[in-house]
């Protein structure tokens, strides 16, 4: 998994499971606020992080989970913690 779109789909799936919503990449964008437009509170965000880390097999330090306000912030943080994809030459 490498593209922001693929990460966004995973993130929205997790948020939808927690919030019982139906957000899709077509109706939200990376500028959507987690707490505002998506209505994710701090407890739900902790649960979301747990599920995201499990689904993507990554570990993000608690300190790195701060100052994330938009979907774009979240996707970028996740992308930075994914293992580098090796290219074949």
pTM tops 0.85, yes or no: yes
Answer yes or no: is 54 within a domain: yes
Q: Which residues, other chains included, contact 74 with Cβ-Cβ below 8 Å and sequence gap of 6+? A: 11, 34, 68
pLDDT digits (tens, 9 = 90+) for 62-73: 999 999 999 999
Q: Which domain holds residue 43?
A: 4-81
Answer yes or no: is 87 within a domain: no
The CATH number given to whatever domain includes residue 27 is: 1.10.1200.10
Answer yes or no: is 89 within a domain: no
Answer yes or no: is 73 within a domain: yes
User: Considering its fold, how many domains does the chain have in total?
Assistant: 1
Answer yes or no: is 47 within a domain: yes
Answer yes or no: is 88 within a domain: no
CA dihedral 18, 4, 75, 85 (to 10 degrees): 110
pLDDT digits (tens, 9 = 90+) for 9-60: 999 999 999 999 999 999 999 999 999 999 999 999 999 999 999 999 999 9
Cα–Cα distance for residue pair 24/63, rounded to 1 Å: 28
């Amino acid at each position: 998994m490498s593209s922001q779109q693929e990460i966004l789909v995973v993130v929205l799936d997790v948020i939808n499971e927690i919030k019982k919503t139906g957000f899709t990449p077509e109706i939200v964008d990376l500028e959507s606020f987690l707490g505002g437009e998506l209505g994710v509170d701090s407890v739900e965000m902790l649960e979301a992080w747990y599920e995201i880390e499990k689904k993507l097999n990554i570990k993000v330090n608690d300190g790195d989970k701060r100052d994330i306000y938009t979907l774009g912030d979240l996707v970028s943080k996740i992308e930075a913690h994914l293992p580098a994809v090796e290219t074949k030459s």
